[in-house]
Amino acid sequence: MLFSTGGFMRVYLILVITFIAVFSTEILYCQSGWTAQTSNTSNTLTGVSFADANNGWAVGASATIRHTTDGGATWGTQTSPVNQLLRSVFAIDANTAVAAGDNGLIIRTTDGGANWTQVTSGTTNPLTSVYFASTTTGWIVGGLGTSATIKASSTGGASFGTQTTTASGIFRAVAVASTSIVTAFGGTSDNLFQIRARSTNGGTNWTTQVQGTINGVIYGAAYGTSTVGIAAGAGGLVYKTTDAGSNWGAATSPTSNILYGVAMKDANTGWVVGTFGELFKTTDAGSNWITQSGVTSSTLFGVSFSDLYNGTAVGQNGTIVHTTTGGVVSNISASKTGDYTGGFISPGATDVPILQISLSNSDGTARVTGLSTSFTSTATAVDGDISAVKAYYDADNSGTVTGGDVLLGSNTFSSGVATWTGLTLDVTSVITKILFVVDIAVGANTSHTLGLELTNSSCITASNATSSGFPISNTSNSPLPVELKDFSANTESFNVILRWSTASEINNHGFEIEKRKIQDTEFSISKEGAQWISSGFVAGAGTSSAPRTYLYLDKNLSAGKYAYRLKQIDRDGKLAFSHSVVVDLVVVPSQFVLSQNYPNPFNPTTNIRFAIPVSAFVSLKVYDLIGREVATLVNEQRKEGFYTVQFNASTLSSGGYFYRLQTGNFVETKKLLLQK
């Protein structure tokens, strides 16, 4: 007996296919930290800003504007309405950006840069730094000689007003902690003269914190949180604040050369760039620095990160360098953590799990990117046997394709090869499970071997490792006695409801429901393993040409993740298995629940289950039929969750009793029956 959808696996031998994965139990792949990108300009780029990992702008000399929508893989040219040096840009979102430069120039786009319009600034002083705290609130600073300039917008850059300060000199950087707290930094051409001013009320008032000959000019600054920030400048000077700029203290300097650009993404992680292509990263807010230099020798003036991994720096001669790993050169390891050990597969089966691997990164922080996968064949007559190969994120580590899994790529198997060009396996956690599945074509009839390769653009080291074979039952020309249409699972309180339907049935004895509890550890993708246990049986329709729908209720389960499958049994004793479905009984309930005790009637013990969605004082008591309390089962503070309490009635007489759950405003009473 066979299911025509391919959802079941047959248990008699017709044909065997073997799957070979070409990687060892532990493989290391080199992954570069920063790579150069093509800007299509030799003009110096002085500012860069990204709205997200894909959309960003770079600006510079001679009104240069470069724009990308693919993370810098390609940079297009955009046109400024005024030919002036642009010193800084800020991407408010994927469509909106504001740039500023010499002679008081401010320009703005709201259509991704297709059109830039000039915004009145009210000054002819050079403007050096732009930053927006929100989609509406932002600042631009600059100055000339002793005339420090601050411009503020509450309209998303559509207009700017002037804010006043007593500071005297040129502001070169603005760092924004919130829509209220902002700090401006700078200095004069004398590298020992520094100015710093701060506002705590959105710029209505500015307090001059520093003005004088101390240390040197600050060229770049950024906040990683609303309280923690870093500033850097002449002579490799680095300052740090942990109180939103009330106080700035000296941090460790990574160099004696000038640092121009600063980016921070949280309280600890930041980058500084500067002279001769120097590029440094900190993971402890400036106490220590990791050198990431080497990708360029051109001076870098600006740096922007959209998250902890995707960053871009720009500089002299149109230099653009980019990272998708937080700048880290990392080693990616791949290990096999799941293997097919099941029975025979029906032609036409889809999403059959063959292999699970775990990808991890040696540094524990950077993502695994740039990996591509390809399948090749070592035999000739392959076409028509495997119609597709697919890669999924196995988000729930179940070993089967479930609703939460993400399809990374799929390709029709043709001429013995299925390759995904540029398939990227982005990994944001330290270990990520990747599940490889195949679709089997109807009428598959040739033995052959497949090979899997994982590669990236830098290097690969691999040796052979073989998974178990997966046999295919070629019965495509035989009658199809039972045609399974669908199979699904849903949860309700402590219960799981299974639903499946058939289009027709011939000689069908029925369905045995099997389940297993999934652990959050490594697993076997076994379809026939001892871990499956019988949960119940539902009789079939025998022989029927009419569609049938079946339901099965698995009651009183503990919290956790469960896999279910159907074992279809013919009247002649032949078996076939469905694909599995996975459900998750959440640990934290969404509402108060008092369940019926089980067993009921009972003698002398029974179980009472309840759920509370919030931490609360819980009272669970038992009463006789005239309202006298006979037992206190719970009378204490409990955390949110599911609970099972055993009630022992060995000292009570046979008869009916009530049990009542009370917690806060929730009260519910149910009846139980003791039969001795």
pLDDT tens string 242-254 = 999 999 999 999 9
- Kindly state whether residues 435 and 538 are assigned to the same domain: yes
Q: How far is CA 301 from CA 317, 319, 321, in A?
A: 11, 10, 12
Percent of the chain whose pLDDT exceeds 90: 49
**Structure tokens belonging to residue 4:** 């025509």
Query: Would you say the C-alpha torsion 357, 362, 368, 369 has a positive or negative sign?
Result: negative
Q: Which residue has the tokens 């020992």?
A: 192
For residue 527, pLDDT over 80 is answered with: no
**Terminal-to-terminal C-alpha distance of the chain:** 48
For residue 558, pLDDT over 90 is answered with: no
276, 299, 328 — which closes off a domain?
328
Check residue 329 and give its pLDDT.
Answer: 67
Determine how β-strand 218-223 pairs with β-strand 320-323: unpaired
Q: Which residue has the tokens 């440094």?
A: 280
Q: Which residue has the higher pLDDT, 489 or 357?
A: 489
Give me the mean pLDDT over the 478-503 stretch: 79
Give me the mean pLDDT over the 517-537 stretch: 57
CATH code, domain carrying 650: 2.60.40.1930
Domain that holds residue 394: 1-31+329-586
286, 301, 328 — which closes off a domain?
328
How many CB atoms neighbour CB 537 within 10 A?
Answer: 14
How many CB atoms neighbour CB 89 within 10 A?
Answer: 29
For residue 277, pLDDT over 80 is answered with: yes
Burial class (CB in 10 A: 0-12, 13-18, 19+), 579: buried
- Kindly state whether residues 74 and 204 are assigned to the same domain: yes
Give me the mean pLDDT over the 533-558 stretch: 88
For residue 653, pLDDT over 80 is answered with: yes
**Structure tokens belonging to residue 136:** 């509406």
Most confident of 265-279, 355-369, 464-478, 489-503: 265-279
Total domains, the chain: 3
- Considering only CA atoms, which of 21, 19, 20, 17 is closest in space to residue 454? 21
Count of helices and strands (H, E) across the chain: 0, 55
Give me the mean pLDDT over the 454-478 stretch: 44
Check residue 413 and give its pLDDT.
Answer: 52
- Kindly state whether residues 1 and 99 are assigned to the same domain: no
328, 344, 373 — which closes off a domain?
328
611 pLDDT tier (thresholds 50, 70, 90): confident
Most confident of 240-249, 391-400, 574-583, 593-602: 240-249
pLDDT tens string 490-500 = 887 778 999 99
Mapped onto helix, strand or coil, the DSSP state of residue 383 is coil
pLDDT tens string 406-437 = 776 666 555 444 444 434 444 444 446 777 77
CB of 368 closer than 8 Å to CB of 332:
yes
- Kindly state whether residues 425 and 459 are assigned to the same domain: yes
**Structure tokens belonging to residue 425:** 């396996």
Lowest-confidence segment of 29-43, 96-110, 207-221 by average pLDDT = 29-43
Could you give the CA distance from residue 190 to residue 301 in angstroms, rounded to a whole number?
A: 19
- Kindly state whether residues 65 and 115 are assigned to the same domain: yes
What contacts 665, CB < 8 A, 6 or more positions away?
Answer: none
CB of 421 closer than 8 Å to CB of 412:
no
- Kindly state whether residues 148 and 191 are assigned to the same domain: yes
Extended beta strands in 154-305, E state: 161-163, 171-176, 182-187, 193-199, 207-213, 218-223, 229-233, 238-241, 249-250, 259-264, 270-274, 279-282, 290-291, 300-305
Alpha carbons within 13 angstroms on the beta-carbon side of residue 673 total 3
Triad 345, 349, 350: Cα angle to 5°: 130
Burial class (CB in 10 A: 0-12, 13-18, 19+), 648: exposed
Whole-structure pTM value: 0.57
How many CB atoms neighbour CB 147 within 10 A?
Answer: 12
CB of 49 closer than 8 Å to CB of 60:
no
Q: Is 421 left (phi over 0), alpha (psi -120 to 50) or beta?
A: beta
pLDDT tens string 173-224 = 999 999 999 999 998 755 567 889 999 999 999 999 988 766 789 999 999 9
576 pLDDT tier (thresholds 50, 70, 90): confident
Check residue 84 and give its pLDDT.
Answer: 95
Check residue 352 and give its pLDDT.
Answer: 78
Q: Which residue has the higher pLDDT, 445 or 24?
A: 445
128 pLDDT tier (thresholds 50, 70, 90): very high
565 pLDDT tier (thresholds 50, 70, 90): confident
What contacts 429, CB < 8 A, 6 or more positions away?
Answer: none
Check residue 52 and give its pLDDT.
Answer: 95
**Structure tokens belonging to residue 235:** 């002579």
CATH code, domain carrying 158: 2.130.10.10
- Max CA pair span of the chain: 98
Q: Which residue has the higher pLDDT, 384 or 261?
A: 261
Using only the alpha carbons of the chain, give its radius of gyration.
Answer: 33
- Considering only CA atoms, which of 674, 666, 648, 659 is closest in space to residue 596? 659
- Kindly state whether residues 345 and 310 are assigned to the same domain: no
pLDDT tens string 282-291 = 999 999 999 9
- Kindly state whether residues 260 and 353 are assigned to the same domain: no
For residue 519, pLDDT over 50 is answered with: yes
Q: Which residue has the higher pLDDT, 137 or 641?
A: 137
Burial class (CB in 10 A: 0-12, 13-18, 19+), 653: exposed
Determine how β-strand 127-132 pairs with β-strand 138-144: antiparallel
- Kindly state whether residues 365 and 462 are assigned to the same domain: yes
- Specify the length of the chain in residues: 676
**Structure tokens belonging to residue 32:** 């570069």
For residue 438, pLDDT over 80 is answered with: no
Burial class (CB in 10 A: 0-12, 13-18, 19+), 422: exposed
CB of 8 closer than 8 Å to CB of 277:
no
**Structure tokens belonging to residue 113:** 């840069």
Q: Report residue 498 CA to chain centroid gap.
A: 30
Q: Which residue has the higher pLDDT, 146 or 183?
A: 183
Percent of the chain whose pLDDT exceeds 70: 75
Could you give the CA distance from residue 280 to residue 220 in angstroms, rounded to a whole number?
A: 14
- Kindly state whether residues 415 and 562 are assigned to the same domain: yes
- Kindly state whether residues 490 and 566 are assigned to the same domain: yes
Instruction: Kindly report the average pLDDT of the chain as a whole number.
Output: 80
- Kindly state whether residues 388 and 458 are assigned to the same domain: yes
Could you give the CA distance from residue 645 to residue 616 in angstroms, rounded to a whole number?
A: 17
Mapped onto helix, strand or coil, the DSSP state of residue 248 is coil
pLDDT tens string 371-395 = 544 444 333 333 456 677 777 777 7
Q: What is the DSSP letter of 104?
A: G
Could you give the CA distance from residue 389 to residue 374 in angstroms, rounded to a whole number?
A: 10
- Considering only CA atoms, which of 537, 535, 516, 643 is closest in space to residue 581? 516
CATH code, domain carrying 465: 2.60.40.10
Could you give the CA distance from residue 290 to residue 268 in angstroms, rounded to a whole number?
A: 13
Peptide bond into 547 cis (omega under 30): no
Query: Contacts for 392-395 with beta carbons within 8 Å, 24 or more apart?
Result: 392/434, 392/435, 392/436, 392/437, 393/432, 393/433, 393/434, 393/435, 394/338, 394/356, 394/433, 394/434, 394/435, 395/433
* Ramachandran angles phi, psi of 626, nearest 5°: -105, 10
CB of 505 closer than 8 Å to CB of 544:
yes
Instruction: Name the strand (E) or helix (H) holding 668.
Output: strand 666-674
